[in-house]
């Protein structure tokens, strides 16, 4: 899954309150949630989500932690690449990750992109995803690297 591995070209930015090491760690956790092999591993996903996790999906549906665990375990593999990753400090132990998620439908080869955001919290020295927001899919241009 080379396209999903942490790639310095995709680790675009982080604010001055986030160290390079912490930003890289949070990006790797976010990328793990996009990896089809991880998404099908209920225990691994469980370890990455906060107890009160919620997701506001592209469809407008609000997903609970248990619903996401069930959904991901049974979904069709659809690799998602992350571009233009950014990490922002919200408060001590709270970080916002934003990025452009690009996926390709395996049946139609149609590519779509959305701007995603996720809120990560550090509890008992473990970073866990507390919230994900994925707006409705639209035509979001993908910037090309030189």
- Tens digit of each residue's pLDDT (9 = 90 or more) over 87-118: 999 999 999 999 999 888 878 888 888 899 99
Distance CA 21, CA 131 (A): 22
The answer to whether position 4 is within a domain reads: no
The answer to whether position 36 is within a domain reads: yes
Band (pLDDT 50/70/90 cuts) for residue 14 is confident
C-alpha distances in Å from residue 132, one per residue of 31, 65, 145, 146: 13, 11, 26, 30
Question: What is the CATH number for 128?
Answer: 3.10.450.50
The answer to whether position 138 is within a domain reads: no
Print the domain residue range for 61.
17-133
How many structural domains compose the chain? 1
What's the predicted TM-score (pTM) here?
Answer: 0.81
Q: Which region, left, alpha or beta, applies to residue 24 given φ > 0 means left and ψ of -120 to 50 means alpha?
A: alpha
Distance CA 56, CA 120 (A): 15
């Amino acid at each position: 899954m080379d396209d999903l591995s942490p790639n310095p070209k995709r680790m675009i930015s982080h604010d001055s309150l986030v160290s390079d090491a912490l930003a890289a760690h949070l990006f790797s956790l976010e990328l793990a949630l996009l990896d089809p092999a991880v998404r099908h591993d209920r225990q691994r996903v469980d370890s990455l989500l906060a107890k009160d996790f919620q997701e506001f999906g592209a469809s407008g549906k609000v997903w609970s932690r248990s619903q996401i665990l069930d959904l991901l375990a049974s979904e069709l593999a659809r690799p998602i690449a992350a571009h233009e990753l950014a990490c922002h400090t919200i408060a001590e132990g709270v970080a916002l990750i934003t990025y452009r998620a690009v996926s390709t439908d395996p049946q139609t080869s149609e590519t779509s992109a959305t701007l995603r955001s996720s809120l990560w919290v550090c509890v008992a020295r473990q970073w866990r995803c507390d919230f994900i927001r994925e707006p409705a899919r639209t035509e979001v241009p993908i910037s090309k690297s030189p």
